[in-house]
A and B are shown apart, each in its own frame.
Chain A
Amino acid sequence: MARLIRTEKEVEGRREEVWLVVDEDDLEQWPAGPRNVVGRPKTRDDGLARARGQVRFTADLRFPGMLHAAILRSPYPHARAKRVDLDHALAAPGVRGAIGPGDAPELSATCEYEGAPVAAVCADSMREAHAALALVDVEWEELEPLLDADEAVARGKLLEEPRHHERGDFERGLAEADVVVEATYRTQTVLHNSMETHQSICRFEGDVLEVYTSTQYVWGVRREVAKTLGMPADKVRVVCEFMGGGFGSKNSPGEFTYVAAELARRTGRAVRCALTRREEHIAAGNRNATIQRLTVGARSDGTLTALGGEYVNAVGADGWNSMTEGPMLMLYECANVRSTTWGARLNLPPAKAFRAPGFVEGTFGLECLLDELAAKLGLDPLELRRRNHADRDPGGSEAYSGKNLLECYRRAEPHWERRHEVRSRSTATVKRGVGMASQVWFGGGGPPSYAWIRVGSDARATVVTAMQDVGTGTKTTMAMVAAEELGIPAEDVTVAVGDSLRGPYATLSAGSSTTPSIAPAVRAAAADARRQILDMAEQRYGKGVDFDLRELLSLLGNSQILGTGSRGPNPAGMTVLTFGVQVAEVAVDVETGEVTVDRIAAIHDVGRVINPLGASSQIEGGIIQGIGHTLSEQRLLDPGSGGILTTSLDAYKMPTIADVPEIVTDLIDLPDAQLTSLGSKGIGEPPIIPVAAAIANAIRDATGADVRSLPISREEMLRALAEAKEKARGAATSV
């Protein structure tokens, strides 16, 4: 029976109370371990079409008469467009429309960051549209930009009130400590750089606005566009069948959608608005920089007595104040914890969620701090983490729905043991070492999400849901779950996603919530169909008689069995999280400062693994992005003007195939007994979380140097080496 509940919904650490109508999830979990389909490696259902270049991304869609829009953006971090004259642009060859500040949502004369959208033109070709932008006459008033995060905090320029957390008595915890370590960590601004840039095509069909867009959230775009434009939601159709990556940057419509919609309304034509790669580097979101001033106190046996953190998120002109303090609050048993997080409002492009926002940054600080503590105490870092393991949610009194972090640590041992052999391969100039870091993150998903299924007379099935597959393999996961429940091969299941007009609501592809949200709904839909098939069999062959599925279904001709399913509630009064640990091996050239990552072992607990092949791809992808974050990626600013200097893939250094270490993955693969009919959690974000700290801790193991700032460029590495040398000299002198 449908049940109306009031529940807490979490997406990437942001929580809200919502009313939901949910169906009870009354299916029993399958026993642990591989089944006929689920738990066995499966290649992607659309892999061949994607590999052949046959699928149509938003970037590939063309409509008759389609126009191309381009956006005029602020060249200054802080400025006001005193006058915007579109006349010359409108008269340019091929131009069919032009709009200025106030003509479409998000177009504004007040520019709080470089790249802020001001005006837009559309033309017969992209080339003509971009050429016409140069003819828009703008009189600019440049204003003083605020670029320094600490200064913003001091001046009270904040995104929201500072966020405080306190449990126990932090000061008393420090007084009880035998050892206290304080350190400041800094992380840089990094860019998502999805291969498909942000883009939409908008067109009106009667009174329906069609939005073809590269998005992680079909239903979020539908809701926001309808609300912003004052339209009934059913008059907005959002389509995203294939999607070229998002990593958190494509959760909302964006100015490019509103520009395309307004120009489509004015011209009566389809209008495409696609960001160039240069715009993508400036105005498509970022992982904000952080400053983390951290304190840990511990007894000589390693028991944590106090943890403290002052976190500054350099958010930018807008965005959100992500939960950088999360790992400190959630990872370890510690009675006395105090944190404050400031979201500094700056004249820089707004931050957006980026694969485990806050936790990637916060884990770098916390897990480096733990290793600095271990070094000071003379304790083994793995043992220190075991001693402070949290058996219950340290933030409350709730039990975990499932937690196998200790098992992760056990499985990490052989990788950790390699450190003696790795160190022994050091030379005078190349030092080698091993480091580790733990991971905590959300990833339990939740309601609502719905799926439909139809089963035909050929015993093939089609799953329909207006979900999107951003490249993670969600469709394949859904096909596998449906196949398992129906007792047919996964190859016989087609999955249709990506059209709000042609399927039920499904959640966003973010927060490692996709699989744990939609897969139980798919199983419920398949079970609904299966119940009908069993009813049909009983009437045809009699009760309890074995039957052949194909023979039975062949009776159907062109008719179908239809099943529906929804995601049931999360377990009440329980904390649902994912856990893991990674062990990194590095080589540091102490003459040049070059750091090479040789090997990373990743052990994660994400409940039941539906597709081990897809899961291993997610882990490798997360680690590779993490290596970029740790060693090479950084959005650089001109310190004087605040102008963004890294606006191309030449200047902004993402990892290539030549940067990839050996990656060993190990998943605990035990269903979370409390969570849904599948016991599965998400794997998208966990693997990127511990990478930076594991590498930094391996560098300390190799060289004795404390790197506390990302990226660990050669300059940072040489600075840390010089500092370590200085410290060692000082220590020697004082003895």
Chain B
Amino acid sequence: MPELTVNGGRYVLDAPVGTSLAEALRERIGLTGTKISCNEGHCGACTVLVDGEPTLACITLAHRVEGREVTTIEGLRDHPMVDAFVRADAVQCGFCTPGQIVSAVALVEAHADPTAAEIRHRMSGNLCRCGTYTKIEEAIRTWRG
């Protein structure tokens, strides 16, 4: 059976072919920080990193990421971006927040000091219905504390 590498740990993937990465993370490994909100790649709530690249886990097949490094919100729980989101109050209901933070981490890992235009471009795939966007932009601008 194939193996998944998630947050540095290795897991045997005991799931039928066709299982999405989001489903595998949530239902097989029990990492429920990755949310499923639309389940068709439109909202960004399921964003994880695959080899450092932000990836929509709900439309990624679990079997396709064998041998690659998957990082979920649980693997980023001590990243300064998490605190930055809390400080800026970029969390309302919190359902989209893990996906937002994963995208934001990918952004600052690529450009440590993104411009407002870069933030708006790179974060526009993560929907938030509560409307925390203003605070998300602030969190990313001030993520280093």
Contact = CB atoms under 8 A, between A and B. Distances in A.
Interface of A: 43-44, 46-48, 50-57, 59-60, 62, 192-197, 242-245, 247, 276-277, 470-473, 613-614, 616-617, 620-625, 648-650, 654-658, 660, 663
Nearest to B83: A48
Given A195-B96, A613-B89, 9 more contacts: A46-B94, A47-B91, A52-B73, A52-B98, A55-B94, A57-B95, A59-B36, A471-B95, A620-B134
Contacts of B85: 47, 51
Contacts of A277: 37-40, 42-43
A53 B74 contact: yes
Contacts of A625: 129, 131
28 contacts: A47-B94, A48-B83, A51-B86, A51-B98, A52-B77, A53-B74, A53-B77, A56-B32, A57-B35, A192-B129, A195-B43, A195-B96, A197-B37, A244-B37, A245-B92, A277-B38, A617-B130, A617-B132, A622-B131, A625-B131, A654-B127, A657-B119, A657-B124, A657-B133, A658-B120, A658-B121, A660-B137, A663-B134
A703 to B, nearest CB: 26
B128 interface: yes
A445 B98 CA distance: 33
Contacts of B82: 48, 51-52
A494 B97 CA distance: 22
Contacts of A470: 93
A620 B88 CA distance: 13
B126 interface: yes
B127 A44 contact: no
Contacts of A62: 27
A619 to B, nearest CB: 9
A650 B33 contact: no
A195 B133 contact: no
Contacts of B95: 57, 59, 194-196, 244-245, 471
Contact of A660 (B40, B89, B96, B133): B133
B123 interface: yes
Given A195-B45, A471-B93, A52 B33 contact: yes
B71 interface: no
A616 B135 CA distance: 10
Contacts of A44: 86, 89, 91
Given A52-B33, A196-B95, A242-B94, A656 B127 contact: yes
B86 A54 contact: no
A654 B96 CA distance: 14
B126 A657 contact: yes
Nearest to A276: B39
Nearest to A616: B89
Nearest to B120: A658
Nearest to A278: B40
B91 A50 contact: yes
A197 B43 CA distance: 13
A52 B74 contact: yes
Contacts of B42: 277, 648-650
B129 A193 contact: yes
Interface in B86-112: 86-87, 89-98, 101
Contacts of A276: 39
Contacts of B126: 656-657
B136 interface: yes
Contact of B128 (A57, A59, A195, A614): A195
Interface of B: 26-27, 32-40, 42-43, 45, 72-74, 77, 82-83, 85-87, 89-98, 101, 119-121, 123-137
A649 B38 contact: yes
Interface of A: prevailing SS: loop
Nearest to A649: B42
A616 B133 CA distance: 12
Contacts of A650: 40, 42
Contact of A51 (B43, B94, B119, B120): B94
B31 to A, nearest CB: 8
Contacts of B129: 192-195, 245, 247, 625, 654
Instruction: List the 10 closest pairs (A to B, CB-CB), nearest first.
Output: A53-B33, A471-B93, A50-B94, A621-B131, A624-B131, A244-B95, A53-B98, A649-B42, A195-B95, A47-B86
A614 B123 contact: no
B101 A51 contact: yes
A621 B92 contact: yes
B127 A60 contact: no
Contact of A243 (B74, B93, B101, B136): B93
Nearest to A55: B94
Contact of B86 (A48, A53, A472, A622): A48
Contact of A54 (B33, B43, B101): B33
Given A47-B86, A470-B93, A53 B32 contact: yes
A617 B133 contact: no
Nearest to A627: B131
Nearest to B97: A51
Contact of B131 (A51, A57, A192, A623): A623
Interface centre among B27, B35, B96 (most CB of A within 10 A): B35
A656 B38 contact: no
A648 B40 contact: yes
A490 to B, nearest CB: 14
B32 A620 contact: no
A182 to B, nearest CB: 35
A657 B117 CA distance: 10
A471 B130 contact: yes
A660 B134 contact: yes
A193 B83 CA distance: 27
Nearest to A469: B93
B132 A621 contact: yes
B131 A655 contact: yes
B101 to A, nearest CB: 6
A336 B141 CA distance: 53
B40 A656 contact: no
Contacts of A192: 129
Contacts of A620: 131-135
B2 to A, nearest CB: 19
Interface centre among B26, B89, B93, B125 (most CB of A within 10 A): B93
Interface centre among A43, A52, A473, A658 (most CB of B within 10 A): A52
Contacts of B119: 657
Nearest to A472: B92
B22 to A, nearest CB: 12
A195 B89 contact: no
Contacts of B36: 59
A624 B136 CA distance: 13
Nearest to B72: A53
Contact of A657 (B27, B39, B72, B137): B137
A657 B32 contact: no
Nearest to B76: A52
Contact of B89 (A244, A614, A622, A649): A614
Contacts of A649: 38, 40, 42-43, 127
A376 B131 CA distance: 36
B122 to A, nearest CB: 9
B74 A245 contact: no
B125 to A, nearest CB: 8
B43 to A, nearest CB: 5
A47 B94 CA distance: 8
A43 B87 contact: yes
A269 B43 CA distance: 32
A613 B86 CA distance: 11
Contact of B35 (A59, A614, A624): A59
Contacts of A613: 89
Nearest to A54: B33
